[in-house]
Structure 1
Amino acid sequence: MATEQARDAERDAILAALTPVVDGIAATFGPLCDVVLHDYRNPEKSVVAVAGSITGRTVGGAMSEIGMRVLARGDEAADELNYVTRTRNGTLLKSSTMVLRDSAGAVFGALCVNVDISAVSQAHSLLGALAGAGAAPAEPPTTTFGNDIDSVVDALVDAHRSKQRGSWAELDRAERLELFGGLDARGVFAVRGAVEQVAARLGISRASAYHYLAQARAAHDTSTGGTA
């Protein structure tokens, strides 16, 4: 079995080989595209190469909520191809996230391609209206692309809270567990210090946050037939 040091060397070599690919893909698609290479061994600074500026990423920046979702799924994570999302400033993107694996099959990073399709979408809507097409497609979800992990975690907490009624104090136990379970499923708690950050965002103690996280995980294990 390969040592962890050997596995890290292999992963470093894969990232090094893909770095010029980042520039090549971005050059092919032009200014409406950006390509980001992530090393998930360091979630807070996962961006190791970037070309283009659509999502405003920089080398040394943090993973997005999409990366957190990959982390949450671990080695079960799969490629997510040609999905549509929207940045917080309204730019409509068609994106693909391709997970990176070492020779043992362990997921350790991702290569992400984002293409700005705002103009294409507007043209499509106009042509559809002229042709008498039906209702507009559903609004795509908004994805937070931030260069610091705190802003991404905060955005996810706020998004989950917006789906519920009122403040933390107004939530019943089931709703509190749903909030923590939802954040856990999105990979938020795979980030170092996220429990403390979520607690501060909700205005609760660190101990309460850990309690609800443990209860949410236990409820999930029970519902899926696992063990707590």
Structure 2
Amino acid sequence: MSETALDAERDAVLAALRPVVDGIAATFGPVCEAVLHDYREPERSVVAVAGSVTGRTVGGAMSEIGMRVLARGDEARDELNYVTRTDGGTLLKSSTMVLRDSTGAVFGALCVNLDVSAVDRAHALLGALAGTAGIPADPPATTFADDIDAVVEAIVDAHPLRRGAGWAALDRDRRLELFRDLDGRGVFAVRRSVEHVAARLGISRASAYHYLSQARAVTDRADDPAGGHP
């Protein structure tokens, strides 16, 4: 099938899912948000949204969860009933269901986010009254924003290798590890992301491209220890 025909097929799938997005949000009410993504344009992947749990709008960017799916390519799988929280502290139970065309290629996702903060508070209250309250695990934070630059910057700033230490404090191995991890999370699948990462780290664009190239070379060697020979 030609790429033009595949794009027409993908457009048809997205069009068919638009009313589903509205139906999901209407069914669960104001605590629910449904978001439809077209990964062919990561910087403005949101093509339909109903509900306002994360505050995103049509034309907005994917989150780092979407970047992770994008990085996995056609190996990506549905991620169901995971817990995360917004930068503002809202606790979410979410599911990300990947969309595939007839060739099996991943081209988008349907995401559902439920605001479970009120349920969590009620659970904590009941636990306290019953004397069984414990310290809840702290779920990871996810940056939801219409601007892809903000998502990239949040990933870089929150990275364990970055927190508490500037770029200059990292040795070469840790610098390569940082770039390798960011690459594995799909950060560099987004246009202009290398420039944004360089700016966030306070290094030149040329240096960022150099470290990315070196990090990918190390990854390739790790994936093919025999050097490609039988």
- Aligned match of 2:196: 197
Q: Which residue of 2 aligns with 1:117?
A: 116
- For residue 45 of structure 1, what is the amino acid of its counterpart? R
- Match of 1:196, SS? helix
Q: Please state if 1:127 is matched with 2:126.
A: yes
Question: What do the CA deviations read for 1:142-196 (whole angstroms, capped 9, x no partner)?
Answer: 0000001110011011011665441101111111112111211110000001011
Whole-angstrom CA distance in 1 between matches of 2:181 and 2:219:
10
Q: How far off its partner does 1:217 sit?
A: 1.6
Matches within 5 A, 1:6-25: 6-25=5-24
Query: In the alignment, what sits opposite 2:152?
Result: 153
Give the TM-score taking structure 2 as reference length.
0.94
Alignment of 1:1-228 (within 5 A): 2-133=1-132, 135-160=134-159, 163-225=162-224
1:24 & 1:99 partners in 2: Cα distance? 18
Q: Give me the whole-angstrom Cα distance separating, in 2, the residues matched to 1:164 and 1:51.
A: 35
Identity rate, percent: 74
TM-score normalised by the chain length of structure 1: 0.95
Distance 1:128 1:84 in 2: 20
SS at match of 1:137: coil
Kindly report the root-mean-square deviation, in angstroms, between the aligned alpha carbons of the 2 structures: 1.5
Q: Counterpart of 2:47 in 1: which secondary structure?
A: strand
**Offset at residue 207 of structure 1 (A):** 1.3
C-alpha contact (below 8 Å) 1:160/1:182 kept by paired residues:
no
Q: How many residues align?
A: 227
Conserved in 2, the CA contact under 8 Å of 1:43 and 1:62? yes
Q: Residue 78 of structure 2 contacts residue 98 of structure 2 at CA under 8 Å; is this kept in 1?
A: yes
186-195 or 159-168: bigger deviation: 159-168
Q: Which runs of 5+ in 2 are unaligned?
A: none
What do the CA deviations read for 1:94-129 (whole angstroms, capped 9, x no partner)?
A: 000000000000000000000000010111112222
